[in-house]
């Protein structure tokens, strides 16, 4: 398994607010190389599958509605220590708890609409990246 990669989604609220460019600039400036990227829209089935781990949580239905209400930008990012460094860059799940200068502090509205996703392990980075990209789309 490749361990210097992580997976991210710029969530619908980021695209609705026109924050795509600013967020990608911050990702690039932090030393991540984009090895795959696409703008796409998740179906309900996609979101239910991607977030299956949360299916028993009270916020699951709202999460699926949120993630399918408009386009997202999905990307695979490469950097040494990518998973951990990217989670530091995006900040805590709840933007109220996120450190100053993090992407969620700057761009997220709430714990549910929190602007970006970042994989929480090398294994999940691989699974989540493979959910959105075929081998031919990764460079």
Residue 73 C-beta: closest distance to ligand CMP, Å: 14
65 scored as a contact of ligand CMP (CB under 6 A): no
Q: Name the one residue in this structure whose structure tokens are 């930008």.
A: 73
93 scored as a contact of ligand CMP (CB under 6 A): yes
Beta strands 116-118; 33-40: pairing state: unpaired
Q: Which is nearer to ligand CMP, 59 or 131 (CB)?
A: 59
* Subset of 40-59 contacting ligand CMP (CB under 6 A): 54, 59
Residue 65 C-beta: closest distance to ligand CMP, Å: 11
Nearest to 79 by CA among 18, 2, 13, 15: 2
131 scored as a contact of ligand CMP (CB under 6 A): no
Among 72, 114, 126, 129, binds ligand CMP (CB under 6 A): 114
Residues annotated as catalytic are 117
Among 112, 130, 131, 139, binds ligand CMP (CB under 6 A): 112
Q: Which is nearer to ligand CMP, 55 or 139 (CB)?
A: 55
Which parts of this chain interact with ligand CMP (CB under 6 A)?
A: 54, 59, 63, 93, 111-112, 114, 117
């Amino acid at each position: 398994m490749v361990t210097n990669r992580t997976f991210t989604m710029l969530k619908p609220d980021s695209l609705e607010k026109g924050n795509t460019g600013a967020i990608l600039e911050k990702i690039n400036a932090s030393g991540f190389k984009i090895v795959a990227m696409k703008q796409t829209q998740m179906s309900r089935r996609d979101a239910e599958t991607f977030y299956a781990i949360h299916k028993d949580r009270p916020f699951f239905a709202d999460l699926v509605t949120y993630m399918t209400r408009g386009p997202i930008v999905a990307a695979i990012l490469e950097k040494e220590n990518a998973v951990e460094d990217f989670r530091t860059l995006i900040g805590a799940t709840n933007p109220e708890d996120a450190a100053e200068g993090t992407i969620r502090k700057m761009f997220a509205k709430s714990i549910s609409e929190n602007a970006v996703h970042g994989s929480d392990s090398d294994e999940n980075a691989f699974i989540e990246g493979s959910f959105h990209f075929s081998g031919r789309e990764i460079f």
